[in-house]
């Protein structure tokens, strides 16, 4: 076998907008890759065509941000792969959607996390994702009854990035109880101080955040979170820091779903810079999760 021959017979496939990521990842792991053909029918529905020949093990790469179309397209590709005889089907989704509605807070509400989880369980043998929102369920397997679930984290690469931007005495500040795991992991390598706020959500755009009393005079503060969408969680946290003498206030999130208006409002609340990982393509991307994905894929294939 030549040095350039694939090391595993598995294939990584992905949609056209992630072709370069898929190619780089497959190359690093020594497996083959192909792009799933995707286009719109004149009525707006999705046309999906898998590579004609698929091996027994296929890994589909799809970050599930930006609405419902990706879910439908993923389902079409997954079912088509099974019909073509694929025996093991894995999903590598850097961002997993529909994870935040994890309860029926009002009668009749769809618990989308459970429903999407059961849907995935019917499609995939393995599910790998980064920093999924697991507030009330604890483990990914509780939300997604897929045979093999793997929760990855961007905390390590975020920590490495922050080491180039903020000093050791910076405060890592999480907005709510769930963020403690990430705050702790991000702070650990440099033994930085971290703190957790108390969050009360009243509605999609209405949230209260109580930041603990900590002396931040002449210190940098880095607000962290798994997801930032409307930006209001971090805005409320930032507002409480106003006038307390912080040198710089920054925000870094794993999954950035923010639009222009949200980013503007975050800056107006005193957040100087907004940083994110590239689990979702976004203007704030500064941290690559490629090392995290690479390692996870190697383990999956071993």
Residue 245 half-sphere exposure, CB side, CA atoms within 13 Å? 7
Say whether 87 is catalytic.
no
Residue 113's contacts (CB-CB under 8 Å, 6 or more residues apart) are 98, 99, 100, 101, 102, 137, 143
Query: Among 34, 73, 131, 176, which residue sits at the site for ligand R5P (rule: CB under 6 A)?
Result: 176
In the complex, the smallest distance separating the C-beta of residue 178 from ligand R5P, rounded to whole angstroms, is: 6
Q: At closest approach, how far in Å is the CB of 256 from ligand R5P?
A: 10
Tokens 């009243």, located at residue = 202
Pick the closest to residue 252 from 154, 168, 181 (CA basis). Answer: 154
Q: Which is nearer to ligand R5P, 34 or 176 (CB)?
A: 176
Q: If binding is defined by CB under 6 A, does position 102 make contact with ligand R5P?
A: no
**Interface with ligand R5P by CB under 6 A: which range of 26-34, 41-49, 173-181, 244-252?**
173-181
The residue (of 216 and 235) whose beta carbon lies closer to ligand R5P is 235
The smaller minimum CB distance to ligand R5P, of residues 133 and 219, is found at: 133
Toward ligand R5P, which CB reaches closer, 8 or 151? 151
From first CA to last CA, the distance across the chain in angstroms is 18
172 lies in the binding site for ligand R5P (CB under 6 A): no
Give whichever of 128 and 266 is closer to ligand R5P, judged by the CB atom: 266
Among 54, 97, 207, 280, binds ligand R5P (CB under 6 A): 207
Do residues 217 and 241 make contact, with C-beta atoms less than 8 angstroms apart? no
Residues 24-83 that bind ligand R5P (CB under 6 A): none
Q: How many residues bind ligand R5P (CB under 6 A)?
A: 16
**7, 87, 199, 244: which is the annotated catalytic residue?**
199
Q: Which residue stretches of the chain are H helix? A: 19-29, 69-83, 112-121, 140-143, 155-162, 180-187, 232-241, 260-268, 290-301
Residue 204: closest CA among 101, 70, 71: 101
C-beta separation of 220 from 166 below 8 A: yes
Strands 46-49 and 37-40: antiparallel
Q: Is 178 in the site for ligand R5P (CB under 6 A)?
A: yes
Distances from the Cα of 61 to the Cαs of 115, 128, 210, in angstroms? Answer: 21, 10, 38
CB 129, CB 95: distance < 8 Å: yes
With respect to ligand R5P, which residue has the nearer C-beta, 110 or 163? 110
Contact 250, 223 (CB under 8 A): yes
- Side-by-side strand order, sheet with 285-287: 193-196, 171-174, 220-228, 248-256, 273-277, 285-287
- Closest separation in Å from C-beta 127 to ligand R5P: 20
Mask for 12-31, x = binds ligand R5P (CB under 6 A): --------------------
Residues 213-242, interacting with ligand R5P (CB under 6 A): 225-233
Q: List binders of ligand R5P among 242-261 (CB under 6 A).
A: none
What is the contact surface with ligand R5P in residues (CB under 6 A)?
100, 133, 135, 175-176, 178, 207, 225-233
Catalytic residues: 199
């Amino acid at each position: 076998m030549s040095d350039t021959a694939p090391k595993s017979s598995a294939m990584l496939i992905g949609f056209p907008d992630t072709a370069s990521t898929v190619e780089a990842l497959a190359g690093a792991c020594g497996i083959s890759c192909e792009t799933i053909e995707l286009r719109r029918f004149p009525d707006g529905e999705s046309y999906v065509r898998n590579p004609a020949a698929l091996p027994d093990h296929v890994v589909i790469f799809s970050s599930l941000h930006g609405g419902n179309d990706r879910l439908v397209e993923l389902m079409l590709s997954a079912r088509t792969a099974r019909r073509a005889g694929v025996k093991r089907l894995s999903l590598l989704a850097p961002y997993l959607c529909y994870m935040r509605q994890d309860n029926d807070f009002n009668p009749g509400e769809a618990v989308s996390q459970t429903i999407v989880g059961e849907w995935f369980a019917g499609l995939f043998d393995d599910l790998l994702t980064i920093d999924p929102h697991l507030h009330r369920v604890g483990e990914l397997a509780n939300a997604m009854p897929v045979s093999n679930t793997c929760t990855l984290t961007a905390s390590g690469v975020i920590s490495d990035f922050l080491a180039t931007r903020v000093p050791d005495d910076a405060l890592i500040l999480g907005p709510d109880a769930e963020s403690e795991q990430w705050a702790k992991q991000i702070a650990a390598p440099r033994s930085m101080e971290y703190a957790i706020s108390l969050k009360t959500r009243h509605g999609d755009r209405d949230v209260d955040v109580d930041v603990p009393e900590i002396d931040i005079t002449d210190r940098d503060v880095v607000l962290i979170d798994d997801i930032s969408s409307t930006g209001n969680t971090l805005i409320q946290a930032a507002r409480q820091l106003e006038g307390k003498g912080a040198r710089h206030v920054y925000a870094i999130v794993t999954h950035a779903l923010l639009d222009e208006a949200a980013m503007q409002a975050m800056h107006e609340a005193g957040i100087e810079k907004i940083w994110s990982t590239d689990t979702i393509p976004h203007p704030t991307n500064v941290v690559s999760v490629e090392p995290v994905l690479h390692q996870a894929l190697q383990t999956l294939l071993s």
